[in-house]
Amino acid sequence: MLHTSTLTLNKEFRRVYYRGKAFSTPVVVVYALKNHKGYNRIGLTATKKIGKAVQRNRARRVMREAYRLLEPQFPVGYDYVLVARSKTTQCKMDEVHRAMKFALGKLF
C-alpha cells in the first residue's frame, strides 16, 4: 500500500470512532478522521459476533484487499477504520469493494 500505515493503539481507534465521520453499509462500516499527516492510516476490526477466527480473518483480508484496490481514490491524510459486519463473511470481494466505494463517495 502506497500511502498507508496501520493503526495499532486502542486510543487511536477510539479517537476515530468518537471524532470521525462514519458511513454504514450492510457489508462494512467506514470511519474517517483527518490526521494532519502526509499519509493514511488504516485499522481493520472484526468482532466475535462475526464468527470464529477463520471468518474474522477472512473478513479482514477481504477488507484489506478492497482498500488496496481503492487506495488511489481515498484522500490522503486521514485515519480510516473499517469494521466488518456479519454479511462480510458471506460476501465476495467484489461486493465489499462496491460497498466500500459507495461509502467513500458518501463520506467525501
Average pLDDT over residues 42-69: 95
pLDDT of residue 2 exceeding 90: no
Residue type, 90: Q
Using the structure block, give the residue that is written with the C-alpha cell 459486519.
85
At residue 108, the pLDDT reads 87
What average pLDDT is seen over the chain?
Answer: 94
Contact status, residue 60 vs residue 84, Cβ threshold 8 Å: yes
Please give the domain boundaries of the chain with CATH numbers for all domains.
4-107 (3.30.230.10)
Q: 6 - beta bridge partners?
A: 42
What's the CA gap between 25 and 7, in Å, rounded? Answer: 22
CA distance 48 to 69: 26
